[in-house]
Amino acid sequence: MPHFYDTCAGPIEGLYLPPIAWEVLRRENIQTLDQLRANAHRLDQFDGIEADMAQQIRLTLAYVEPFEDRTTLYDAWTS
């Protein structure tokens, strides 16, 4: 069963992610929603982000997508 982390607002408006995720994204110079989308498939490759946290970030990101795009994006990130 995946672990879900406590979340907080960060520099990308509309997203609530674990504090460690914000730190890793800052370190990786990911500062926008578009940059996060472009890197969502490789989040678990970043030092400090475990697979379950990467999954939580992808799910959170999917919720800020237009409804029509959610399933397509989630399927792409998890395959």
pLDDT of residue 69: 54
Q: Which domain holds residue 71?
A: 8-78
Asked, for residue 48, whether it belongs to a domain, the answer is yes
Is residue 18 in a domain? yes
The tokens for 23 are 């730190």
Q: Does the reported pTM lie above 0.85?
A: no
Q: Which tokens belong to 49?
A: 């982000």
Tokens (6 digits) for 55: 């999954």
How many domains are contained in the chain? Answer: 1
* Structural domain includes residue 28: yes
Q: Would you state the pLDDT for residue 61?
A: 87
pLDDT reported for residue 62: 84
Rounded Cα–Cα distance for residues 35 and 10 (Å): 15
Q: Which tokens in the block code for residue 21?
A: 């995720």
In DSSP notation, 6-72 reads --EE-SSTT-EE-HHHHHHHHHTT--SHHHHHHHGGGGGGSTT--HHHHHHHHHHHHHTS-HHHHHH
- Point out the residues of the chain with pLDDT beneath 50: 1
pLDDT for the residue 31: 95
Looking at residue 1, its pLDDT comes to 44
Report the pLDDT value the prediction gives residue 58, as an integer from 0 to 100: 92
